[in-house]
A and B are shown apart, each in its own frame.
Chain A
Amino acid sequence: MALLEIRKATRRFGHFVAVREVSLEIEAGEFFTLLGPSGCGKTTLLRLIAGFDTPDEGRILLDGCDITLTPPERRPVHTIFQSYALFPHMTVADNVAFPLRMARVAHGEIRVRVAQALREVQLAGMGERLPQELSGGQKQRVAIARALIDRPRVLLLDEPLAALDLKLREQMQLELITLQRLVGITFVYVTHDQGEALALSHRIGVMNAGRIVQLGAPDAVYEFPQTRFVADFIGTCNLLEGTVRRQTGARLTLEVSGLGELAASARTPVQVGERGVLAVRPEKVRIAAQIVPAPGEVHLQGVIHDQLYLGDVTVYKVELAGGRLLEALLPNSAAGVVKFFEVGDHVDLAWRAEAALFLHD
């Protein structure tokens, strides 16, 4: 049985549906991430789990018990807020002790456990400080220590790293992974940063307009997006619109206007004559001055239109026949070579048919 189960939860604000029939099962010990663009309902869904809000329809179960109407203080679920929500009039130690005080744990034990918790987040000796005397990263750690001190079953994190600068964010990501493995508590993590979602999670639920549109392991979601939205939202993806002409098993032939027939693969049932997009990731596209296509490879020609030097890789925008642009990625791995192509160079492009997914519109 899943630890946390959401059954067809819907939350409306007036006529606006913020969360629409979301069903979700999250296992004990899982690092689950809700990923989606701003306003898609991630925070609203998290608030339903925390108990700050109740769904208009649907149920929420924890360990098989219906907690849909249980007030937040009686759910073994804690939240890390984006603003950290540290109590400004209490010291760090009193903040961390708060859940234990509410649970009427004995004073002596509180002192021991708070000291222990502060050590665990590398804040030993800072217990007497006030929150406003801490840096952003330290506040974050206090919030984590406070939320984990009474070992909740589920920890909800609403964009906890959004306020930190890039370096600190990367460091905190690693710390979060380590911490989650260590304590084994289920994390439900909200972010609109796809890189963060891919790096941290066991599983990702991609949300759009109040729905979960795809659910799966990071690599599955990245490699095999099921919709155009997911392909576009996670990473960058070349999308070529076309019509299905022929189908043999999982292999399709797609008619793309201006480019002729291209091979693609499908992971869902497809009908001949159906319109959709061919999705291929830039790093799956081979680019070279001359390519002899291997069997099963799609082969195209184009002209370098633009290039974006990013240090480790260079992104080339290649203009295809009919003026369409396609992105290809080349790692700058050769020593001593800075540039492979110039704008205006004629290049060959190729990719394996399996790398090109057909997605329904």
Chain B
Amino acid sequence: MARRAALYAAALVAYAFLYVPLVIVVLFSFSASHLGTRWAGFTLHWYRVLLHDAAMLHAAWNSVIIALAASLAATVFGTLAALATRKYRLRFLPVLVLAPLSTPDILQGVSLLVFFVLLNVTLGLKSVMLAHISFCIAYVAIVVSSRLAGMDPSLVEAARDLGASPWKGFWLITLPLLAPGIMAGGLLAFTMSIDDFVITFFTAGAGTTTLPLRIYTMIKVAVTPEVNAVSTLLMASTLVLVLSISKLAPQALKGMG
């Protein structure tokens, strides 16, 4: 009994450590105080401020565009990568595809920056998109791979056996069965892209800003309640996406770094 109580207490402390900071941010986004870290009564004022902050809206718009482009492209390439890994069973292929997951962001950011400079790519929206595509592919590939691994290989053979061409077999059997995994992978890529800071920071150049970059710029001055408000919105949308992923591909989130 005592052991169990101790266990619950420990769990409570751990979860508190994880979530209390987030709760505080959400709470203070509704605070009437000008300081982002003090409570002075409920207000929606900061959300209204947010709506009229042209720079912030522009950054958000950039973030959404980048995340959409990156997740769409990564979904296609990541799915193809997962299929290829399964088909050719080369030992080094999964390593190549999944390595970005365990490479430090800062390293990816710096190396992409150097790469773009070498290739004379102008830093801006496009370079950020390219950078995001490159790290999102791995996320899609890992989710689709786990879905593929759970798929009975005799299903596609059965389709061929019963008269389907290789293309028909892919279109009628493989793709529909992978669809939840592909969707989940795409959503995961979207969340990874929309709140990426480090890689974006290195590849965005001077003129381009995204939501995380903008938030960072603002808190360099002060933690205003407006930052809390935009963070709350970002958090809420990420939460919705993660919930959809876990609904679509419950196994996809297990074993994720």
B173 on interface, CB distance cutoff 8 Å:
yes
Taking Cβ atoms with an 8 Å cutoff, the residues of A that contact B are: 50-52, 71-73, 77-79, 81, 83, 85, 87-89, 98-99, 102-103, 146-147, 150
Main secondary structure of the interface of B (DSSP, over half): helix
Hey, which chain B residues are within 8 Å of A102, CB to CB? Answer: 162-164, 168
Q: Which residues in window 24-70 of B have CB below 8 A to A? A: none
29 A-B pairs with CB atoms under 8 Å apart are: A51-B161, A52-B161, A71-B160, A71-B166, A72-B157, A72-B160, A72-B161, A73-B160, A73-B161, A73-B163, A73-B164, A73-B165, A78-B162, A79-B157, A79-B161, A81-B154, A81-B157, A85-B155, A85-B158, A87-B173, A89-B176, A89-B177, A98-B162, A98-B163, A98-B164, A99-B162, A99-B163, A102-B168, A147-B162
Residues of A within 8 A of B160 (CB): 51-52, 71-73
Residues of A within 8 A of B168 (CB): 102
User: How far apart are the CA atoms of A19 and B173 in the complex, in Å?
Assistant: 30
Interface residues of B (CB under 8 A from A): 152, 154-155, 157-166, 168, 173, 176-177
Contact, CB under 8 Å: B164 / A87 = no
**Cα of A14 to Cα of B83 in the assembled complex, Å:** 24
A147, B159: Cα distance in complex, Å? 11
Partner among A71, A79, A89, A150 whose Cβ is within 8 Å of the Cβ of B158: A79
CA distance A88 to B160 in the complex (A): 16
- A51 CA to B161 CA, complexed, in Å: 8
Given contacts A50-B157, A98-B164, A102-B163, 15 further A-B contacts (CB under 8 A): A51-B160, A71-B160, A73-B160, A78-B161, A85-B154, A85-B155, A85-B158, A88-B177, A98-B159, A98-B162, A98-B163, A102-B162, A102-B168, A103-B163, A147-B162
Inter-subunit contact B152/A87 (CB<8 Å):
no
Chain B contacts for A88, CB-based, 8 A? 155, 177
Cβ-defined contact, B155 with A87, below 8 A: yes
In Å, the complex CA distance between A81 and B159 comes to 12
Please, which residues of chain B bring their CB within 8 A of the CB of A77?
161
A72 nearest in chain B by CB position: B160
Q: Identify which of B154, B161, B168 gathers the most chain A CB atoms within 10 Å of its CB.
A: B161
Q: Which B residues lie within 8 Å of A98 (CB)?
A: 159, 162-164
Smallest beta-carbon distance A48→chain B, Å: 13
The residue in chain B whose Cβ has the minimal distance to the Cβ of A98 is B162
What residues on B are CB-neighbors of A72 within 8 Å?
157, 160-161
Residues of B within 8 A of A83 (CB): 152, 154
Q: Tell me how far the C-beta of A313 lies from the nearest C-beta in chain B, rounded to whole angstroms.
A: 39
Q: Nearest Cβ distance between residue A279 and chain B, in whole angstroms? A: 39
- What's the minimum C-beta distance from A334 to chain B, rounded to whole angstroms? 51
CB of B150, distance to nearest CB on chain A (Å): 11
- The residue on B at minimum CB distance from A88 is B177
Query: Which residues of A have CB within 8 Å of B152?
Result: 83, 85
* Distance between Cα atoms of A72 and B163 in the complex (Å): 7
Question: What's the Cα separation between A102 and B166 when bound, in Å?
Answer: 12
In Å, the complex CA distance between A85 and B159 comes to 9
Q: How far is the CB of A283 from chain B (nearest CB, A)?
A: 40
Q: Report the bound CA distance from A203 to B155 in whole Å.
A: 30
Instruction: Note all chain A residues with C-beta closer than 8 A to B154.
Output: 81, 83, 85
* Bound Cα distance from A150 to B164, whole angstroms: 13
Give A206 to B253 CA distance when docked, in angstroms: 48
Cβ–Cβ contact B161 & A87, under 8 A: no
Which of B162, B164, B166 gathers the greatest number of chain A CB atoms within 10 Å?
B162
Whole-angstrom distance between the Cβ of B162 and the nearest chain A Cβ: 4
Instruction: Report the Cα distance A85→B173, complex, angstroms.
Output: 11
Known A-B contacts A73-B164, A102-B163; the reply to A52 vs B177 at CB < 8 A is no
Closest to B173 in A: A87
> Which 10 pairs, one residue from A and one from B, show the smallest C-beta to C-beta distance?
A102-B163, A85-B158, A85-B154, A99-B162, A72-B160, A81-B154, A79-B161, A73-B163, A72-B161, A89-B176
Across-interface contacts of A103 in B (CB, < 8 A) = 163
Bound form: Cα–Cα A83–B158 in Å: 11
Residues of A within 8 A of B155 (CB): 85, 87-88
Alpha-carbon distance between A81 and B152 when the two chains are bound, in angstroms: 11
- What A residues does B165 contact at CB under 8 A? 73
* Alpha-carbon distance between A79 and B155 when the two chains are bound, in angstroms: 11
State which of A85, A89, A99, A146 has its C-beta within 8 Å of the C-beta of B157. A85
Nearest CB of A to B153, in Å: 9
CB–CB B157/A87 < 8 A: no
Task: Determine the distance from Cα of A85 to Cα of B164 in the docked complex, in whole angstroms.
Answer: 14
List B contacts of A146 (CB < 8 A).
162
Chain A residues positioned under 8 Å from B161 (CB to CB): 50-52, 72-73, 77-79
Chain A residues with Cβ below 8 Å from B162 are 73, 78, 98-99, 102, 146-147
With A and B bound together, what is the CA distance between A146 and B155 in angstroms? 13
Bound together, the chains give a CA A146 to CA B176 distance in angstroms of 20
Distance between B159 CB and nearest chain A CB, rounded to angstroms: 7
